[in-house]
Amino acid sequence: MNCRPLVAALGVIGMFMAGLAAAEPVSYTLDPVHTRVHWEARHFGTSTQRGRFDRVEGSVRLDRSAGRGDVSIIIDTGSVSSGVPALDRVLRGRDFLASEAHPQAYFVATQLRFDGERLRELRGEFSWRGVSQPLTLRALRFACRTDAELKREVCGGDFEGVLLRSDFGSTFGLPFVGDTVRLLISVEGVRQ
């Protein structure tokens, strides 16, 4: 009995199945050490007040070849840090972040826009203070590398978006404290 045709057929099937596996989405868990959400807002029409959230977690699934994926980011609103402890207490209060009533804010994106294999934009919803609004994050940069220590792929980048805090019910101090908030999100995800 000649087994060569059977072996050849199994080889072709194996390559086809490997190709399908390669086309599957790849999952990443955001590295909390290398993931931050920074914010900027105008202060009395003059300077820009800046700060960050120190506790952020999330996950990403990417299928670069198909140009699809999804992103989920959870922000601990109580971890706000402006560098001024007294201001941080005000920001955590009910007039701004309302951290006691709303300890987390969320960004969930299911529409990713690619230019070839280059990620350009994340389109989704930002939920904060019990309100969800559309939000687009523009990719300022995005790249992947193999981490020598972890021996796994790490992908990350910098993204920016703009929201109006009044859309989420935070109107205290308007117009003296700016309504427009610029978000700068830096993430690194480790392939699972």
Average pLDDT over residues 75-95: 97
- 62-82 burial: b if 16+ Cβ within 10 Å, else e: bebeeeebbbbbbbbbbbbbe
Judged by average pLDDT, the poorest of 7-11, 96-100, 116-120, 127-131 is: 7-11
Domain residue limits, the chain: 25-191
Q: Looking at residue 44, what is its pLDDT?
A: 87
**14-53 confidence digits (pLDDT tens):** 433 444 445 689 999 999 999 999 999 998 888 899 999 9
Q: CA nearest 142: which of 161, 162, 123, 114?
A: 114
Q: Looking at residue 59, what is its pLDDT?
A: 97
Enumerate the β-bridge partners of residue 122.
Answer: 112, 137
Query: What is the biggest distance separating any 2 CA atoms in the chain, rounded to whole angstroms?
Result: 87
pTM: 0.83
Distance, in Å, from the CA atom of 136 to the CA atom of 103, rounded to the nearest integer, reads: 22
Residue pair 140/160 in contact (Cβ under 8 Å)? The answer is yes
Q: Is the pLDDT of residue 12 over 50?
A: no
Q: Is the pLDDT of residue 5 over 50?
A: no
Average pLDDT over residues 46-62: 95
pLDDT category, 152, cuts 50, 70, 90?
very high
> C-alpha angle 176/180/181, rounded to 5°?
110
Give the residue, 17 or 125, on which the prediction is more confident: 125
- Name the class of domain 25-191: mainly beta
**Type of residue numbered 174:** L
Q: Is the pLDDT of residue 7 over 50?
A: no
Q: Looking at residue 1, what is its pLDDT?
A: 55
- 155-185 burial: b if 16+ Cβ within 10 Å, else e: bbbbbebebebebbebeebeeebbbebbbbb
Q: Is the pLDDT of residue 145 over 90?
A: yes
User: Mean pLDDT, the chain, as a whole number?
Assistant: 89
Q: Looking at residue 2, what is its pLDDT?
A: 55
**168-179 confidence digits (pLDDT tens):** 999 999 999 999
Distance, in Å, from the CA atom of 29 to the CA atom of 22, rounded to the nearest integer, reads: 19
Burial class (CB in 10 A: 0-12, 13-18, 19+), 41: middle
Burial class (CB in 10 A: 0-12, 13-18, 19+), 10: exposed
Q: Cis omega before residue 103 (within 30°)?
A: no
Residue pair 187/27 in contact (Cβ under 8 Å)? The answer is no
